[in-house]
């Protein structure tokens, strides 16, 4: 077993949105490696960087947030998650581009800036519709992928300084998008101030985040990892935007994306839609600022952990060969929390070629492409990327896999 190096991080004492002290921890997933810190074969004998993974609630504004902060460069400068790998998400990007253009009234020649633009796929959907596309992303290794799509990328973290530079050099921006990135941000105030600075007075900021209420309702504890510092209901985001004279005026809900995603539309001097008012009333009924629902969630998470461990043990004891599917960050959180490793689940299949030949953090499963599954005699698959369940099951059956699936 590889030695693990525990690193003491500064513990968050005040809420990232409202500054309230006295955050209340409610779920402890242990001291774990960084979920996207994949290893080479030569790394397997070395110490791994581990940090406590504890989720706490601000009872003042209702923001759930991690208590420990990891240096961003350790997680994002060489980033192996590629958003366009999944057809489900590619289709979602196409729809997002069309919807954002409609909501903003953008016309060909207007500018779109995508924050954390990854491989540029979303921007390519806007570019195809005649908009001038610009990405901002700190991952140097993904710039070539964006360039191949004809998308210019500023290699940096989004900030007020970056926003002001764009404003000075290129003018204001009609659409700003940020999909699945706000939760990664430590300084939320600087982030939103940057959006406010760069956004055209009639422009629209469209952001998507995993939805806290879905995470709680469906016991999605594996969406919790060190990259995701904050876990959002709508109401705390409304409070955050209001600090910068921005209004959250509409909401859409996508239960099938990342285990439940909300899309929020933000602009200046906007009146909230009926859908917004209904969503916020639902959150009040849920009790998003009270501890009761969160403590019950933590109890169910522990029960789910025990059930999954038993399911894998039963499969192994009956002589089945168990592999996994989806070398994702959520899968790595799950494996490390369950205490499972390569001794029981030696291989994980993944569709992203950038990961093939690497090993997962903590569990040390070897990552292989789908073709290896087709050649194997595997009889049970632990479905780690359960958020793409239908797509993965269909692909496996098409390859001739006739075994069982263990679904978290």
Kindly list the domain boundaries of the chain, sorted by start residue: 4-66, 83-290, 309-406
Fill in the DSSP letter of residue 380: E
User: What whole-number distance in Å separates Cα of residue 238 and Cα of residue 246?
Assistant: 8
Q: Do the two domains 83-290 and 309-406 of this chain adopt the same fold?
A: yes
CATH number for 83-290: choose from 1.10.10.60, 3.40.50.9100, 3.40.50.150, 2.60.200.20.
3.40.50.150
pLDDT given at position 2: 40
pLDDT given at position 393: 94
How would you write the pLDDT of the chain (408 residues) with one tens digit per residue?
A: 343 444 445 578 899 999 999 899 999 999 999 999 999 999 998 999 899 999 999 999 999 999 999 887 776 655 555 566 678 778 999 999 999 999 999 999 999 999 999 889 999 999 999 999 999 998 888 888 888 888 999 999 999 999 999 999 999 999 999 999 999 999 999 999 999 999 999 999 999 999 999 999 999 999 999 999 999 999 999 999 999 999 999 999 999 888 899 999 999 999 999 999 999 999 999 999 999 999 999 999 999 999 999 999 999 999 999 999 999 999 999 999 999 999 999 999 999 898 999 999 999 999 999 999 999 999 999 999 988 899 899 999 999 999 999 999
User: What whole-number distance in Å separates Cα of residue 143 and Cα of residue 73?
Assistant: 16
CB 363 within 8 A of CB 39: no
CATH code of the region 309-406: 3.40.50.720
Please, what sign has the CA dihedral across residues 12, 13, 15, 18?
negative
Structure tokens at 51: 């940090």
CB 408 within 8 A of CB 304: yes
Pair type for strands 247-254 and 261-267? antiparallel
- What pTM did the predictor assign? 0.88
């Amino acid at each position: 077993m590889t030695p693990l190096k525990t690193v003491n991080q500064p513990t968050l004492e005040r809420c990232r949105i409202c500054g309230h002290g006295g955050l209340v921890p409610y779920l402890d997933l242990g001291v774990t490696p960084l979920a996207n810190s994949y290893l080479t074969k030569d790394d397997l004998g070395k110490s791994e960087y581990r940090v406590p993974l504890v989720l706490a609630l601000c009872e003042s504004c209702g923001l759930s947030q991690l208590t420990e902060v990891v240096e961003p460069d350790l997680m994002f400068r060489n980033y192996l998650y590629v958003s366009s790998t999944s057809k489900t998400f590619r289709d979602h990007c196409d729809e997002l581009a069309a919807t954002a253009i409609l909501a903003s009234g953008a016309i060909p020649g207007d500018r779109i800036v995508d924050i954390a633009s990854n491989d540029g796929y979303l921007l390519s959907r806007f570019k195809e519709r005649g908009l001038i596309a610009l990405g901002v992303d700190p991952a140097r290794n993904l710039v070539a992928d964006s360039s191949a799509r004809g998308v210019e990328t500023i290699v940096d973290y989004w900030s007020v300084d970056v926003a002001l530079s764009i404003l000075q050099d290129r003018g204001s921006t009609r659409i700003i998008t940020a999909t699945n990135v706000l939760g990664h941000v430590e300084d939320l105030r600087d982030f939103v101030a940057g959006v406010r600075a760069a956004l055209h007075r009639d422009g629209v900021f469209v952001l998507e985040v995993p939805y806290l209420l879905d995470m709680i309702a469906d016991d999605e504890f594996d969406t919790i990892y060190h990259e995701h510092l904050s876990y959002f209901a709508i109401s705390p985001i409304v409070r955050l935007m209001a600090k910068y004279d921005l209004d959250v005026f509409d909401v859409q809900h996508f239960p099938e994306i990342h285990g439940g995603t909300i899309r929020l539309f933000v602009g200046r001097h906007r009146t909230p839609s009926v859908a917004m008012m209904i969503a916020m009333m639902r959150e009040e009924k849920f009790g998003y600022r009270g501890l009761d629902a969160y403590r019950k969630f933590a109890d169910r998470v522990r029960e789910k952990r025990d059930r999954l461990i038993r399911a894998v043990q039963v499969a192994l004891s009956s002589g089945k060969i168990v592999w996994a599917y989806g070398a994702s960050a959520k899968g790595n959180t799950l494996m490390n929390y369950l205490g499972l490793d390569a001794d029981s689940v030696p291989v994980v299949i993944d569709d992203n070629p950038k990961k093939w030949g690497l090993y997962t953090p903590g569990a040390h499963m070897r990552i292989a492409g789908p073709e290896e599954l087709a050649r194997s005699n595997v009889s049970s698959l632990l479905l780690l990327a359960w958020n793409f369940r239908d797509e993965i099951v269909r692909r496996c059956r098409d390859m001739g896999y006739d075994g069982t699936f263990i679904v978290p």
